[in-house]
Amino acid sequence: MSKPIGRVRWIICALLFLATTINYIDRAVLGVLKPTLEKELGWTQVDYGWIVTAFQLAYALGYVGAGRLFDKIGVRVGYLLSVSLWSVAAMAHAVARSVFGFCVARAGLGLAEGGNFPAAVKTVAEWFPKEERAFATGLFNAGSNIGAVACPLVVPWLADRWGWQSAFLVTGAIGFVWVVLWAVLYRQPRQHPWVNAAELAHIEKDPPDPPAKVPWLVLLRHRQTWAFVVGMVASAPVWWFYIYWIPDFLNKQYHLKLTQSSGPLIAIFLIADVGGIAGGWLSSHLIKRGWTVNAARKTTLLVCSLCVVPVFLTPLVGNLWVSVALVALAASAHCAFAANLFTLVSDTAPRKAVSSVVGIGGMASAIAGMFSAQLIGRVLHLTNNNYFVPFALASGAYLVALGIMHALTPKLEPMKLE
């Protein structure tokens, strides 16, 4: 009798989930504390826009640099370095007092946090066959929502008892616990002592990629790379808008204080978590039922894009929980979109180039995030905190991106490298 397929790959996926959770806790602390810091330190919307921009600029550099580095040194060492460095940077926020000080701390955080998704997507490509990758990506990406849920639960409590500095210190220190787990538990599938022959055969069931070094310039010649870049540029800044400005929207629109915003924020990101996992499951399920990878991924992306459209109504409805429901639907659709978008890279790029392609797309999206942060900050400043324009831009971004992505890769064929 053949041995049953093991479950070690799902343990690895759980580690990716935990890392992504910590990643989003550390970046979301600032958004939750914004109303408090705004009053205590005298920030304007433009000041806050510059602080967010500092993160995005460094995140762009970290994303593309980590993508290339991890393709060379592997994710075991690379991921460990990334989480260690961003944990130090997160704790450094506690000593900042000026806008410039927060810009420096955010830049350090962004530079190191840029390694999370290149490492995680590369790990999924190495540990999962194509039919499971979207679901695995949806699972680990769900950590972004759990992190966003944990923040409004933990941060107001810490800030209320020991001051806002303690929120940065405690949440930043959590990353070092993950570093120990990763160092102890992670190995490549062929070197991992817990992986049996049946699971290894399952992991390696897809045809192997030819061993080759793929330069960036070669990747930039391929439409598959640009399709991913378009998807990231359109969608990632919207997600950062939710992370960095939704607490402020709730404060300005509905006069919610720091502790009062916890319930709505938790509801938004818990629902988003379900959507992300469901989106990954849907395309994987369709593939198992005989759909082509192209049809399964793009059908799921279309459903997600349509679910985002109603979010433009958020600042118009005048009811707190209707606004929360609209943002929750859009955030849920975003996470499902992201799970399939990241999976497109492992569908079309050689394993040796996955982190590099993710890094290129991440860098482009972070640069777009810089401009969106400046735009949002100035629009809110000029319109006396009217949030209609940011929500309106978010509502149509996904459909436009999907149309361009389909034009670039109508059949979602793999890259043909010479």
Residues with Cβ within 8 Å of residue 128, at least 6 apart in sequence: 9, 13, 136, 203
The structure's pTM equals 0.75
Coil, strand or helix at 170: helix
DSSP letter at 259?
A: T
Cβ atoms of 411 and 296 within 8 Å: the answer is no
Cβ atoms of 203 and 127 within 8 Å: the answer is yes
User: What's the pLDDT score for residue 29?
Assistant: 92
User: What's the pLDDT score for residue 211?
Assistant: 55
User: What's the pLDDT score for residue 209?
Assistant: 61
Residues with Cβ within 8 Å of residue 163, at least 6 apart in sequence: none
**Amino acid at residue number 242:** Y
Cβ atoms of 104 and 58 within 8 Å: the answer is no
DSSP letter at 317?
A: S
Residue 50 CB coordination number (10 Å) = 18
CA distance 71 to 353: 7
**Amino acid at residue number 125:** A
Residue 152 has, within 13 A of its CA and on its CB side, a CA count of: 28
Dihedral angle of Cα 70, 74, 75, 77, to the nearest 10 degrees: -100
CA distance 249 to 272: 18
**Residue 318, class by beta-carbon neighbours within 10 Å (0-12 exposed, 13-18 middle, 19+ buried)?**
exposed
CA distance 90 to 291: 44
User: What's the pLDDT score for residue 256?
Assistant: 85
User: What's the pLDDT score for residue 388?
Assistant: 94
Sign of CA dihedral 407, 411, 417, 418: negative
Token code pair at residue 299: 């059908």
CA distance 294 to 32: 39
User: What's the pLDDT score for residue 215?
Assistant: 75
Domains of the chain: 8-189+217-408 (1.20.1250.20)
- Angle (CA) 202-205-211 rounded to 5° is 125
Provide the residue-wise pLDDT of the chain in tens; the chain has 418 residues: 455 778 899 999 999 999 999 998 998 899 889 888 888 888 888 898 899 889 988 988 887 788 778 878 889 999 999 999 999 999 999 999 899 999 999 999 999 998 998 899 889 988 998 888 878 887 888 887 788 788 888 898 898 889 999 999 999 999 999 999 999 999 999 999 999 999 899 988 877 665 556 777 788 889 999 999 999 999 999 998 998 889 889 988 998 877 788 789 889 988 988 888 888 889 888 988 889 989 999 999 999 999 999 999 999 998 999 999 999 999 999 999 998 998 888 888 887 777 788 878 888 888 898 888 889 988 998 998 899 999 999 999 999 999 999 999 999 888 876 6
Among 260, 248, 269, smallest CA distance to 379 is for 248
**Amino acid at residue number 267:** A
User: What's the pLDDT score for residue 1?
Assistant: 43
Cβ atoms of 350 and 214 within 8 Å: the answer is yes
Among 306, 303, 304, 300, smallest CA distance to 347 is for 300
CA distance 168 to 175: 12
